[in-house]
Amino acid sequence: MGGGPALQAAVHALRRGRIVAVKGVGGFHLLVDARNEAAVQRLRARKHREEKPFAVLFPTLASVLRVCEVSPLEARLLRSPEAPIVLLHRRPAANIPSGSALASSVAPGNPCLGILLPGNPLQHLLMAALQSPVVCTSGNVSDEPICIDECDALERLGGIADWFLVHNRPIVRPVDDSLVRVLLDREMVLRRARGYAPLPITLAADSLHHLTTPILAVGAHLKNSVALAAHGQVFLSQHIGDLTTEPACRAFRRVIEDLTGLYAARPGTVVSDLHPDYFSTQFALDYYSVRQIGVQHHAAHVLSCLMENEIHPPALGIAWDGTGLGTDGTVWGGEFFLITDHACERVAHLRPFRLPGGDRAAQEPRRAALGLLYECMGDAVFARPNPALAPAFSAIELAALRTMLQRRVNSPLTSSMGRLFDAVAALTGGRTQRQYEGQAAMELEFALAGVVTEAAYSFPLLHRPPALQLDWEPMIEEMLTDVQAAVPRGLIAAKFHNALAEGLVAVARHFGQPRVVLSGGCFQNRYLTERVVTALRRAQFQPFWHQRVPTNDGGLALGQVAAVLRQPQLTIRHP
């Protein structure tokens, strides 16, 4: 079946609740009726994507307006040539016309929706015929690259899709949809892919004389993208994804081959993260006979923001995210760097606490919460278990975790802001185990809806040589008092976010650098970023944040390039 009959068959299948795999310009998408709860649940089960939100493809902007609030800038982004997924706020349920409501499982518990409009001819034809919204998610199994040809799609998507709608134009390389949101009246790219990559970043004149041979930066382990510095520019690749499966690692190698081949550049330097277990780091160590450089994860974050905004040192760099290996062997993630012409020095950080179970704590906020309380209370935390945490653990689990913490076995120290978010989420009655990265922190942000307050918990800056520390213990004590008094979770969340902003400004005041750059996954949080930027401006600082380069690990490769281009002047050091 071909032509019009094939299109009509796909439309008929979608109306009957079937899952249709559609070939696009950068790979396959999986489509299903976004108003059909049973169909969306079936897609989740087959794709092994339990709760992570789905994007929704709408036929027209007018149809989007029935469901979401859309600003002029958001409308322009939706209709732009890049055609990204745009994060929009939902309208209140009472304001959505009858028949326009989406299935609850499209984005469970999420006040936002990822929305896109037709961006290629087949999507235009399909949506013109269908005239109703469909879930539009990448044609892959979770954690694998998107399918790009019919044979691959039939093999990998055969257990997910009921129907396939294809065309005869080959796809050379997989490219996902880009993801953006509007923050502080500016576009912020959260996933840089179709339409945005590999658009170059032109190097400043003072960096060009250091680019004697091409530089390949291989990025991070999660949300991976790579960067190539050559011909006076830095080319940041499309989003590759998490390097946790063999298909993803093959896609990573292919992108590097394509990028270096496309720009006829043989790297003379390969730069990677310091973490020895990252696939990207291991790849870099085996890459030809070239100079190999490791750059600390969070230093790369702040340097990425510095380069994107064309800022020259000095500046104060702030990296708040999940986890990254520090130069002292601990797990960093709540870091402040003083950036000068000659150094990127860690000068302050979040007070450390232990993560029982190591990497498991990233999947289980309950573990971060337990480690936080243990730092405050020691063994007493097991004698008087926190009411929010007690049901989250069995007696056997608590005994094992107690031993880990007491003996400091598989319980690394962390200064991670992302793990602090997780701990607070668990302690305030939120999620104790997550289904996808950032879920607990996102739900804490969602709790802020409708809350307006200037109140903040205590978050003092302490002089603990060799670096300053922001101490979360008074904040946690005040927060637990509020939890016990049944203070609404939204107000607790607001006081927590406000405290973070005040603590950040206190560090900025201490060092007095007029320019402050913000990077790391925590700054995807709209409330936090807007609060921080407003507070910094009120205190007469000039804040900079990411816009066209992801603030998450998707922008890390650019910072790795920036670190190398500042060599030999720049060294990454800590006290």
Q: What is the DSSP string of 27-85?
A: SEEEEEETT-HHHHHHHHHHHT-SSSPPEEE-S-HHHHHTTEE--HHHHHHHTSTT--E
Q: Are residues 87 and 150 in the same domain?
A: yes
Task: Quote the Cα angle for 396-398-404, to 5°.
Answer: 110
Q: Are residues 130 and 267 in the same domain?
A: no
Q: Are residues 42 and 161 in the same domain?
A: yes
Residue 546 lies in a domain: no
Residue at which a domain ends, from 234, 269, 296:
296
Q: Are residues 148 and 25 in the same domain?
A: yes
DSSP string, 350-393: EPPEE-TTTTHHHH-HHHHHHHHHHHHHTTHHHHS--TTTGGGS
- Residue 62: CB atoms within 10 Å: 8
Question: What total of structural domains would you count in the chain?
Answer: 2
Residue 204 lies in a domain: yes
Q: Are residues 161 and 31 in the same domain?
A: yes
Q: Are strands 163-165 and 20-23 parallel, antiparallel or unpaired?
A: parallel
**Residue 73 corresponds to which amino acid?**
L
And the tokens for 385?
């278990």
Write out the residue range of the structural domain in which residue 76 sits.
3-177
What element of type H or E holds 419? helix 417-427
Q: Are residues 19 and 45 in the same domain?
A: yes
Is residue 226 exposed (0-12), middle (13-18) or buried (19+ Cβ within 10 Å)? buried
Q: Are residues 159 and 21 in the same domain?
A: yes
DSSP string, 133-202: -EEEEESS-TTSPPP-SHHHHHHHHTTT-SEEE--SPPPSS--PPPEEEEETTEEEEEE--TTTTT-EEE
Residue 185 lies in a domain: no
Q: What's the CATH code of the domain at 231?
A: 3.30.420.360
Residue 46 lies in a domain: yes
Q: Are residues 29 and 173 in the same domain?
A: yes
Tens of pLDDT along the chain (575 residues) come to 677 899 999 999 999 999 999 999 999 999 999 999 999 999 999 999 999 999 999 999 999 999 999 999 999 999 999 999 999 999 998 889 988 899 999 999 999 999 999 999 999 999 999 999 999 999 998 778 899 999 999 999 999 999 999 999 999 889 999 999 999 999 999 999 999 998 899 888 777 777 889 999 999 999 999 999 999 999 999 999 999 999 999 999 999 999 999 999 999 999 999 999 999 999 999 887 688 999 999 999 999 999 999 999 999 999 999 999 999 999 999 999 999 988 899 999 999 999 999 999 999 999 999 999 999 999 999 987 788 788 889 999 999 999 999 999 999 999 999 999 999 999 999 999 999 999 999 999 999 999 999 999 999 999 988 889 999 999 999 999 999 999 999 999 999 999 999 999 999 999 999 999 999 999 999 999 999 999 999 999 999 999 999 999 999 999 999 999 976 444 444 43
At residue 494, the 3 state secondary structure works out as: helix
pTM over 0.75: yes
Q: What's the CATH code of the domain at 80?
A: 3.90.870.10
Q: Are residues 103 and 9 in the same domain?
A: yes
Residue 81 lies in a domain: yes
Q: Are residues 82 and 8 in the same domain?
A: yes
Q: Are residues 125 and 171 in the same domain?
A: yes
Q: Are residues 248 and 287 in the same domain?
A: yes
- Distance between CA atoms of residues 239 and 191, nearest Å: 6
| Tokens 């490769």 belong to residue | 557
